[in-house]
Amino acid sequence: MRKIGDKGSALILVMVSAIVLSILVAALFTLFQANVRTQSWAKERIQARFTAEAGMRMAVHMIMGGADVPQGDEPIQFLPETGDWEFMGDDLGWVQVWVDPHERNDEISSANAYEVRCLAKVMDEDQEWMYGIASMVLPRNFAVYATFLNKTGAGYYGDGYRFDGPFHANEVVILSSNTAGRNNDIWFYSFSVAADHYNYLIPGTGTVVSAYTPHQANLYIEPYEKMLLGEPYFTLNADTVPFGSDLVGWQGTRSAAQDGGLYLTSSQVPDGTRMILLQDTLLVRTGPSADVDTFDLGILENNVVWINNNVGSTVYLKTEEHSSSRAHGLPDDFPLTIGVMGNLAASGPILYQNIDLTDEDNKGILGLVVVEGDFYIADDPDMWGGPEWPGTLQTWRISTGDNDYPDGIEVDAVIMVLEGYLECEQFTASHLPTPAIDFGIVGGYIIEEEGYTTIANPWSGQTWGYMTLCIYDPRLMTMHPPFFPQTGIWDTAYWDERPDMTDDPNPSNPNSIRYDRI
């Protein structure tokens, strides 16, 4: 017989089971809702990240394509130019892009740098989801190259050549080696040509063959083991770097001279004008009987001199007053760029006072920009008995011959020639030193094409003229002469995701897109 109390026990068990089941259902529902919310959060967060990446890539593409970047040193809104947000479409949402210029962009010791920040916003049931990305972009300056050739001509580089900085050619370049081993083979810091091969000149034959690797016959491009790694050390099919007076933005250099530098007109600088760069002072003399005009460059707002001489006319420049001392050279606290429309001739050494290129405090650097003319090694009348200017201690005389500098001539500068050649002003044996002396460039040269500087007699082995060589200035990896032209190519230093970025209008908030970070 079943007892009455058994019914009560069963009822209690049913009730407990129902309560437990209700709790489990509620828990499962809560867990399901949380999972749905988590999936929604993840979905919208991922969408916001993709939108931020799309907005960032669009902005960087615009900047690299030539869009104006902000000047000064404070962050400026880039997209949209007006309003709070740029609509990217129903599938993407909205973005806001700010550009933060490096606060030392106006100093020569720092390469231009910009942090581009993009904040994305997407909506889900009236709730905002945001995500930020930042990237550092740097415009590549032409001054970074040890050697840049737009056209390579018929010449070649062989044993003994050394390029301690980046080398780039927009055409096929010819290399060769007379030695079977690796001893004294040509050396590159990095080698880049805008072609799928370089040419190898077979010694003694005049025949060239296409080469595709750092080793070809006698030639081992050094350092060979590094070149075998390929890009960025050994690069074939590199992008062509636009070059020429119609493609390079040299006008910014001229504008800097007009707006806060020294601007000299063609009437102030007629053909044959001679100049001496005496520390931070420019001495200008238009003829042997003309007065000397003196310009204090140290007071300029922009350290740029622009000489608007006529195309075909030549201005002569040196720093030395016929002395072996560097006391007359460019000071180590004074960077300078000199630009000319016509021809520019080195009429003697052009020197830095401080030649310690590893000195962190050495900011003295010179850029020479030639737009329509040639860069000459000036013809020295003493070499062939031509007429010279009178001048005490040869102050104003051209001094480029072996009588003055038998060990060679040094030019400390970055030389850019946009349309012409780097060559001798007069290419006649009787006007040139023999045997040939060195013409050493401490810096780099960025030119349309190399011209003639040496005459060689293959039968006698005798040479006349100037053996050009370049000693790279390693400071050019991180600095450049003031207002020196850019390549139009931008490099990306980093790509940084910042999910906590906000649109807080307070620029002191480190998470704000407006924060003055650099």
Give pLDDT tens digits along the chain (518 positions).
555 555 556 666 656 565 656 666 555 555 555 444 444 446 777 889 999 999 998 888 887 766 777 777 789 999 998 888 999 888 889 999 999 988 766 665 556 788 999 999 998 777 888 999 999 888 888 999 999 999 998 788 888 888 999 999 999 999 999 988 898 999 999 999 999 999 999 988 889 999 999 999 999 999 999 999 999 899 999 999 999 999 998 998 999 999 999 999 999 999 999 999 999 999 999 999 899 999 999 999 999 999 999 999 999 999 976 666 788 899 999 999 999 999 999 999 999 999 999 888 899 999 999 999 999 999 999 888 888 887 655 789 998 988 888 889 999 999 999 999 999 999 998 899 989 999 999 999 999 999 989 887 767 778 899 988 899 999 988 788 999 998 878 778 889 999 999 999 998 899 999 998 76
Neighbouring C-beta atoms of residue 44, cutoff 10 Å? 20
The verdict on residue 475 lying in a domain is yes
The verdict on residue 240 lying in a domain is no
Assess whether 124 and 158 both reside in one domain. no
AA identity, residue 171:
E
Least Cα distance to 97 among 514, 517, 516 occurs for 514
Assess whether 314 and 192 both reside in one domain. no
Assess whether 334 and 476 both reside in one domain. yes
Indicate the SS3 state at residue 57: helix
The verdict on residue 290 lying in a domain is yes
Assess whether 92 and 176 both reside in one domain. no
Q: How far apart are CA 507 and CA 169, in angstroms?
A: 45
The domain boundary, picked from 235, 262, 290, lies at 235
Q: How far apart are CA 93 and CA 225, in angstroms?
A: 49
Indicate the SS3 state at residue 347: coil
Assess whether 190 and 256 both reside in one domain. no
Containing H/E element for 260? helix 251-260
Q: How many domains does the chain have?
A: 3
Write down the pLDDT at residue 36.
Answer: 43
Assess whether 43 and 191 both reside in one domain. no
The verdict on residue 515 lying in a domain is no
pLDDT, tens digit (0-9, with 9 covering 90-100), for 73-90:
789 999 998 888 999 888
> Is the peptide bond between 435 and the residue preceding it cis, with omega within 30 degrees of 0?
yes
The verdict on residue 243 lying in a domain is no
Least Cα distance to 274 among 395, 440, 381, 147 occurs for 395
Assess whether 216 and 261 both reside in one domain. no
Containing H/E element for 20? helix 4-64
The verdict on residue 327 lying in a domain is yes
Assess whether 75 and 224 both reside in one domain. no
Dihedral of the alpha carbons of 12, 15, 20, 24, in degrees to the nearest 10 = 160
Domain of residue 84 covers: 4-139+490-498
Assess whether 204 and 329 both reside in one domain. no
Assess whether 477 and 343 both reside in one domain. yes
Assess whether 206 and 75 both reside in one domain. no
pTM: 0.78
Q: Are strands 375-377 and 409-424 parallel, antiparallel or unpaired?
A: parallel
Q: How far apart are CA 178 and CA 219, in angstroms?
A: 8
The verdict on residue 506 lying in a domain is no
The domain boundary, picked from 235, 270, 300, lies at 235
Assess whether 223 and 270 both reside in one domain. no
Burial degree of 454 (CB within 10 A; 0-12, 13-18, 19+) = middle
The verdict on residue 507 lying in a domain is no
The domain boundary, picked from 176, 210, 235, lies at 235
What's the token pair of residue 122? 């997407």
Write down the pLDDT at residue 41.
Answer: 46
